[in-house]
Chain A
Amino acid sequence: MSSRRARAAALVLSAFFGAACGPAHGPGTRTPAPSASASTSASTATSEPPNPAKAVDPATVPAVTGVDTSTGVRLESVTRASARVAEIRVVVRAGSADDGEHPGTARTVARSLLTAYKALATDGRAATEVTAAVSPSATTFSFHAASDGVGPTLKALAAAFSKTSLDAAETRAAAQRVTEDVKAELRDLPSLGPRLVQRDLFVAPIGRHPYSLTLLTADEIAGVDAKAASAFLSSFYVASNVTVVAVSAAAPTDLRPIVEDALASVRKGDARSADVDKPEGRPRPMKVMLVDVPAQDPVLVTLGRFGPTAAQGTDTKTRIFGAALRDRLTRQGVEKARLEVTPLRQAPVLALLHIDLPPASAADGFKKLHAVLDGWSAPSADELVIAKNHVIGELLRTIDPPGALADELARGAAVDAPENALEARGLEITMAEAADVGVTGSAILGHDGVLVVVGDAKTLAPALTVFGEVDVLDPNAGLARVRSVTP
Chain B
Amino acid sequence: MRLSSLLVALALSIGVAEPAWAAPPATQAKSKGKPKKPKPGKKKPAQGQSAKKPTAVEDAPVIRPLVAASEPASVRAIADSGLTLVASQRDDFASAGLVLRFSFGSADDPASQAGAGAVLLRALEHALGPEIRALRELGGDATFDLGPDAASVRIRVPSGAIDAALGLVSATFTRALSQADVDAAKATFPAPSVREGAEAQLVGLVYQGFFPYEHAVDGTAASRAPIDVAALEALRKDRVVPGQATLALVSPGDANAALDGLKARFTGPKVDGARPARAGTLQEQTNQRAADVETTGAPTTLLYAWAIRDASEAELNALSLAARLLTTRGAIDESVAKLSLPAQVHARLGRRAGASVFFVEVGLPDATPLKKARHAVEDVFVALSTKAAVALDLAHAREAEWVDALAGLDDPLASADRLAAGARPLGDAREALEAVTPENVRAAAAKYLGPLTRAVVQVSDPAKAPASKTPKKQEKH
Contacts and interface: CB of A to CB of B under 8 A. Distances in A.
A8 B62 contact: no
A81 B93 CA distance: 12
Given A11-B160, A28-B269, A386-B137, A118 B176 contact: no
B257 A393 contact: no
Given A31-B174, A46-B131, A159-B56, A84 B17 contact: yes
A281 B324 CA distance: 48
B174 A30 contact: yes
Nearest to B173: A27
A31 B337 CA distance: 62
Interface stretch (B211-219, B258-266, B446-454, B466-474): B258-266
Nearest to B391: A124
A125 B26 contact: yes
Contacts of B18: 84
A416 B299 CA distance: 38
Contacts of A166: 50
B234 to A, nearest CB: 15
For the side of the interface on A, what is the size category? 35 or more
Interface in B40-56: 40, 43, 45-50, 52-56
B13 interface: no
A60 B165 CA distance: 22
For the side of the interface on B, what is the size category? 35 or more
Interface string B69-85: 10000000001111100
B194 to A, nearest CB: 9
A484 interface: no
Interface of A is mostly: helix
Interface stretch (B2-10, B248-256, B432-440): B248-256
Interface in A351-366: 358, 360
Contacts of A38: 130-131, 171
Given A28-B80, A42-B168, A128-B400, A84 B406 contact: yes
Interface in B146-190: 156-164, 166-178, 180-181, 187-188, 190
Interface stretch (B198-206, B284-292, B409-417): B409-417
Contacts of A60: 94
Nearest to A265: B56
A12 B253 contact: yes
Which 7 residue pairs across A and B have the least CB separation, nearest first?
A45-B167, A28-B268, A16-B261, A393-B139, A170-B48, A27-B173, A26-B268
Interface of B: 16-21, 23, 25-26, 38, 40, 43, 45-50, 52-59, 61-64, 66-67, 69, 79-83, 90-96, 126-128, 130-131, 133-134, 136-141, 156-164, 166-178, 180-181, 187-188, 190-191, 241-242, 245, 251-254, 257-258, 260-262, 264-271, 296-297, 299, 324, 328-330, 337, 342, 344, 363, 365-366, 392, 395-397, 399-400, 402-404, 406-407, 409-412, 414
29 contacts: A8-B159, A9-B91, A11-B253, A12-B253, A15-B162, A27-B83, A27-B173, A27-B241, A28-B82, A28-B269, A30-B174, A32-B174, A41-B170, A42-B168, A45-B167, A80-B92, A82-B92, A85-B406, A115-B46, A119-B45, A121-B57, A122-B61, A123-B62, A144-B407, A146-B403, A147-B20, A159-B55, A163-B54, A169-B48
